[in-house]
Structure 1
Amino acid sequence: MPRQADGPLAVSTRNPRYFTPTTGPGAGRAVYLTGSHIWNNLHDGMGPGPDGPDEPERMDYDAYLRFLTERGHNFIRLWRWEQVRSQAAGGNYHLNMSPQPWARTGPGTAKDGKPRFDLEQLDEGFFRRLRERVTAAGEAGIYVGVMLFDGWALHLSPPPDHVEGHPFHAGNNVNGVSATSINDLRVLPLDPRVRAIQEAYVRKVVDTLHDLPNVLWEVANESCGGGTVTDEFAGFLGMDKAPSWGDSTDWQYWVIDTVKEHEAARGYDAHPIGITMQFPVAEQTKVNEPLLGSRAEWISPGYDDDIFAHGGHPMAPGAPPSRWYADPPIADGAKVVISDTDHYAPGQGDALWAWKSFLRGHHPILMDYGLIAGLEPGAESPAESGVPPFAHYEPARWAMGDTRRYAERIGLIDMQPRRDLASTGYALANSGSEYLVLEPEGGGAFTVDLPAGSYQVEWFDVTTRETTAADVLSAESEGKIELSSPFPPGPAVVYLRVRDDI
């Protein structure tokens, strides 16, 4: 867990798949991140129906932190939602989000019936809330990915509020700023006034949180990548035909540079910054190339499967899953990978996804639609919302906590993801010391390549979450050792550790 005495995170030079605290008692250890997130964990104003009440609905943030810690989570993706009037989930949910970073001074009223924004005057109430929520998360042992901007709602939420509900739309501000599409806010070159307003906001966020050790930055959620969608997909979004969207890559790189340069100029500790999947892009199989080519320390990849090279997507009815969900690639250490279902399997998430991602060297986080209706087990999402109820995601939530528990027990900083070590294809290993292996199918015996030695053995049932010790395993010579779960058929994990008492 983050400690207030520890410094901020930096990419580990020993194992660049993980972060490590820069100072304090935890310096040098691997930090593994995992957790659930949902749209209204910073702003007020999310609820069923296209229109909201006069008083925006407010998440019980303390209850949200308890929900996370009870399940062993230690990471929040803190959502930035920029519209004061917008919808999601097919228009069946409103996201009329407040507070916003700018003061509502008028004269005149915005589309939501409240005073228009003065984009040159920052609202201290927003930044006070931001600091309070990040501080409270840190006190609960939770790291926070602070999302600076959102792109998705600007071009992929239902029109016309995807633009008309934004403070930078002409009818919503007193400054003469008149954004008509995402291109005006996320594609360089920007109008100099827009650029100056964005830069002042970014610097204020950094000034507000720079001294907190549990902070990571995120540039923007699913901004445009220079591609287009089919007219059919546009129709699903409520548009007559697919519009033209520009490429936000250079803008996102500018945001990264702005953050890094401001931290350096002020003498602040640097915090890791991340860049996440863009959509749509010109070539889906290359969706992750701008992420890997950036100056960001961490990334959240999107689906890049060959099966989607010529259109289609894993969220379409009957579509096969992306490899990032079903059989994740091994993290090669080029970037820390925070693997978010939001970018390749929104609405999905189960225990095997969490374990597979962990054992391939990723940090799995869940876009938790089950929280749309509330934080309690009895909460049910209205049928027309099209999202599963709270209970649907419980296996994934508890599994994320289980992976974290093992991550903190093992010597994670020295472990490498290996496809070749076990016949199942899923293993984290520090060869000659310890091994964590997943058998995902529950299909009986499997093999693990081990050096000669004596091993302590622990089994974990992924479904029931039961743990049991087994007899000491003796490998008389190097080679494949056959193992079989002691549990009933179903996925299981075995933890092997060389005995140090002989």
Structure 2
Amino acid sequence: MRKSMLTTAQLLCLLGLMAILQACSSGGSTTAATSAPLPSDDPPPIRSLSIAPLDGKLEISETLQMSARLLYPDGTSEDATTRVTWQSSDDHIGSFDTTTSNGRLSAKAPGSIQITASLDDLSAQAIVTVLLSPGTTRGPLRVSSVNPRYFETDQGVSILLAGSHTWASLQDNGTTSTPPPFDYTTYLRFLSDHGHNFFRLWAWEQSRWVVTATNDQNWLAPSAFERTGPGLALDGLPKFDLTRFNQGYFDRLRERVEQAREQGIYVAVMLFNGFSVSKSKPSSPPGNRNPWHGHPFNAANNVNGVNGDPDGNDSGEETHELAVESVTTYQEAYVRKMIDTLNDLDNVLYEISNESHGNSQDWQYHMIEVIHSYEATKSAQHPVGMTVEWPGGDNDELLASRAAWISPLGEIKNRPVATGAKVILADTDHLCGICGDPGWVWRSFTAGENPLLMDPYDLSNIVGGLPNVNIDDPGLVGARRNLGYAIRMSQRMNLGRALPRPELTSTGHCLADMTGPTPTLLAYSPGDEEIIVDLEQLPEDLLLNVEWLRPATGVSIGAGTTTGGAQRMFRPPFPGDAVLLLHGAP
């Protein structure tokens, strides 16, 4: 039998086939080349989202363009303004067009809002503040014809006056006869940045010595009268001539009131000062710093033979008492000079004197009449105010005066409801001195008052210093900010119809317009306290927008709507003090 034999060619084919099968069974790892990964169209991982501006400001009716960017780990970024979702914490203050996603914010009402941009699981926030147009003073102011708790503009709009004041706003002070200049421009910027619209422009009658200072090297300049001599006054400089006014003083006065007007700020121009004539006050530290020794009406200090201390007790209270006819005559001439200097300016109010002693009532009444009589011959008439006498002051004397506005004594925590008998400027200077906190601002505002803060500012303007005062005290810092917040909230209301209504809320702090076509109610809640609001007098079908202001930050948050016809409970959406605003749709 013949055996079958493989040819050489067949053998070679068989060996090749076996090699191929072996390679396939081993996964081809020994012969297959490793290929590069395919390129991907996916973007690099996102690191974060940022938006700008972080602290934007704009005026009512203006728009602000917000922008958003995606930031990647490799340092690159791309614009995402039209990809993110934009949201305002309160659409009544500022809102985005919901039909587009272009990041353009429209300003509608004064206030601060939080802006949020979101994309997938990323978000970023910014704060935007909506302001009134700067430089808006519309006066001279007059007592509101519909709500005498407030002043109204020449257009009949009732406004809230609120702000802070400090001692060197008109005259420089320091430890030399030519004191270093007070930086008034920076001070006005400070007021404007805090949203204030009012301050007192302090006047000091003496050239040297401040009774509340801690040393006797206290100088104040310029003075209202020229120092011509002959002879030297008790401070070592030439004596005063009471028949000659120092024009530089009045030029500075006008310039500073004009600068305030450019910032939209009203000014109470102080004419006299009780701390300039009394050798001591209850707050005086021990020592000899008698301001009467530096006063122009001290017989040793003028060339006119005027003696403002007829009883010889080394103190000049008689100059604030109608006790010396020649003194009164010179004072009247000084007041007329002040009016001649300022009459055409619309942001002026007058204050007769800061805390003159308890027997100064008739003198202050007289000076009020001097202003009224002289301004009656002028093109404009401005409000005149009277602040409480101290020591020995009586609020009833303020109410009985012909002053348009008053600053009474009282307590900072328990603010009585303003009746409308006078416009009340509730000044911490006469309530508790250097004090104040955010709660005081809202208690005062909801009581129908106009709150005013005595502010140590930067302490550079305090001759001798105030060693126990901390200008960064949280209460003072919060009070400064909330004065501006209160002005913003007041602009959301019609103050011509707003009345203190403590009975409408469980907290007892409420200002409300319940009878107008668009009812509005503002209530203050101290410290995590819910607010029960009585809305029974409003129709059941009346829809009210609900907003919260957080005094700690100034940010407003929209919180939906509620209706009238019943008592409603509102709980703040954040910890701490809260301000609730309910307002009907127009």
Question: Where on the TM-score scale, by shorter chain, does this alignment land: which range?
Answer: 0.7 to 0.9
What one-letter code is carried by the residue in structure 2 that aligns with 1:497? H
By how many angstroms is 1:147 displaced? Answer: 0.5
Counterpart residue number, 2:553 = 464
What one-letter code is carried by the residue in structure 2 that aligns with 1:11? V
* Higher Cα radius of gyration: 2
Say whether 1:178 aligns with 2:307: yes
Say whether 1:299 aligns with 2:415: no
3-state secondary structure, aligned to 2:504: coil
Say whether 1:367 aligns with 2:450: no
Say whether 1:208 aligns with 2:341: yes
3-state secondary structure, aligned to 1:269: coil
Counterpart residue number, 1:499 = 585
By how many angstroms is 1:92 displaced? Answer: 5.0
Alignment of 1:70-85 (within 5 A): 70-85=193-208
Q: TM-score, normalised by structure 2?
A: 0.71
Q: Distance in 2 between matches of 1:102 and 1:73?
A: 32
What one-letter code is carried by the residue in structure 2 that aligns with 1:389? I
By how many angstroms is 1:444 displaced? Answer: 3.5
Q: Deviations over 1:343-397 (max 9, x none)?
A: 011011111111111111111111112432369xxxxx99962222245421100
3-state secondary structure, aligned to 2:148: coil
3-state secondary structure, aligned to 1:172: coil
Say if 2:543 and 2:584, in contact at 8 Å, map to a contact too: yes
Shift of the 481–187 alpha-carbon distance from structure 1 to 2, 3 Å rule, reads same
Alignment of 1:311-390 (within 5 A): 322=411, 325-373=412-460, 385-390=467-472
Counterpart residue number, 2:173 = 45
Shift of the 413–388 alpha-carbon distance from structure 1 to 2, 3 Å rule, reads same
Q: Distance in 1 between matches of 2:217 and 2:534?
A: 50
Alignment of 1:216-227 (within 5 A): 216-225=349-358
Q: Distance in 2 between matches of 1:211 and 1:291?
A: 27
3-state secondary structure, aligned to 1:291: helix
Q: Deviations over 1:138-176 (max 9, x none)?
A: 111000000010013322256452211211112211111
Q: Distance in 1 between matches of 2:209 and 2:432?
A: 23
Alignment of 1:11-410 (within 5 A): 11-22=143-154, 27-46=155-174, 52-91=175-214, 95-155=218-278, 156=281, 159-180=288-309, 181-188=315-322, 190-225=323-358, 247-264=359-376, 266-281=377-392, 287-303=394-410, 322=411, 325-373=412-460, 385-392=467-474, 393-410=476-493
* Stretches of 4+ aligned residues off by more than 3 angstroms: 1-7, 92-95, 157-160, 381-384, 444-450
Which 5+ residue runs of structure 2 have no aligned equivalent?
Answer: 1-132, 310-314
Select the structure that is richer in helix: 1
By how many angstroms is 1:99 displaced? Answer: 0.8
Q: Deviations over 1:47-100 (max 9, x none)?
A: xxxxx1243022111101100000000111000111111125452586421111
Q: Deviations over 1:223-251 (max 9, x none)?
A: 111xxxxxxxxxxxxxxxxxxxxx11000
Counterpart residue number, 1:437 = 523
3-state secondary structure, aligned to 1:494: strand
The answer to which of 425-434 and 441-450 deviates more is: 441-450
Q: Deviations over 1:390-445 (max 9, x none)?
A: 45421100000000011112222211111101011111111151111111232345
Q: Distance in 2 between matches of 1:280 and 1:5?
A: 35
Q: TM-score, normalised by structure 1?
A: 0.83
Q: Distance in 2 between matches of 1:173 and 1:205?
A: 21
What one-letter code is carried by the residue in structure 1 that aligns with 2:433? P
Q: Distance in 1 between matches of 2:251 and 2:337?
A: 11
Counterpart residue number, 1:313 = none
By how many angstroms is 1:109 displaced? Answer: 1.8
Say if 1:33 and 1:75, in contact at 8 Å, map to a contact too: yes
Percent identity of equivalent pairs? 41
Shift of the 360–5 alpha-carbon distance from structure 1 to 2, 3 Å rule, reads closer
Shift of the 5–144 alpha-carbon distance from structure 1 to 2, 3 Å rule, reads closer
Count matched residues.
Answer: 436
Q: Distance in 2 between matches of 1:143 and 1:435?
A: 27
By how many angstroms is 1:108 displaced? Answer: 1.6
By how many angstroms is 1:28 displaced? Answer: 1.2
Which 5+ residue runs of structure 1 have no aligned equivalent?
Answer: 47-51, 226-246, 304-321, 376-380
Q: Deviations over 1:249-294 (max 9, x none)?
A: 0000110000110111x2331100000010122xx6xx10110000
Say if 1:131 and 1:208, in contact at 8 Å, map to a contact too: yes
Say if 1:39 and 1:81, in contact at 8 Å, map to a contact too: no
Q: Deviations over 1:96-123 (max 9, x none)?
A: 2111110110112223322111011111
Q: Distance in 2 between matches of 1:117 and 1:280?
A: 29
Say if 2:137 and 2:261, in contact at 8 Å, map to a contact too: no
Say if 1:85 and 1:111, in contact at 8 Å, map to a contact too: no
Shift of the 191–39 alpha-carbon distance from structure 1 to 2, 3 Å rule, reads same
Counterpart residue number, 1:309 = none
Q: Distance in 2 between matches of 1:434 and 1:390?
A: 35
| Alignment match of 1:414 (pick from 494, 497, 507) | 497
Say if 1:347 and 1:388, in contact at 8 Å, map to a contact too: no
Q: Distance in 2 between matches of 1:182 and 1:300?
A: 23
Q: Distance in 1 between matches of 2:460 and 2:472?
A: 8
3-state secondary structure, aligned to 1:64: helix
3-state secondary structure, aligned to 1:385: coil
Say if 2:388 and 2:398, in contact at 8 Å, map to a contact too: yes
What one-letter code is carried by the residue in structure 2 that aligns with 1:438? Y
Counterpart residue number, 1:238 = none
Q: Distance in 2 between matches of 1:223 and 1:384?
A: 22
What one-letter code is carried by the residue in structure 1 that aligns with 2:198? F
Say if 2:509 and 2:525, in contact at 8 Å, map to a contact too: yes
By how many angstroms is 1:485 displaced? Answer: 0.6
Shift of the 495–221 alpha-carbon distance from structure 1 to 2, 3 Å rule, reads same
By how many angstroms is 1:457 displaced? Answer: 0.7
Shift of the 18–214 alpha-carbon distance from structure 1 to 2, 3 Å rule, reads same
Say if 1:448 and 1:483, in contact at 8 Å, map to a contact too: no
Counterpart residue number, 1:237 = none
Say if 1:370 and 1:387, in contact at 8 Å, map to a contact too: no
3-state secondary structure, aligned to 1:414: coil
Say if 2:197 and 2:266, in contact at 8 Å, map to a contact too: yes
Say if 1:422 and 1:449, in contact at 8 Å, map to a contact too: no
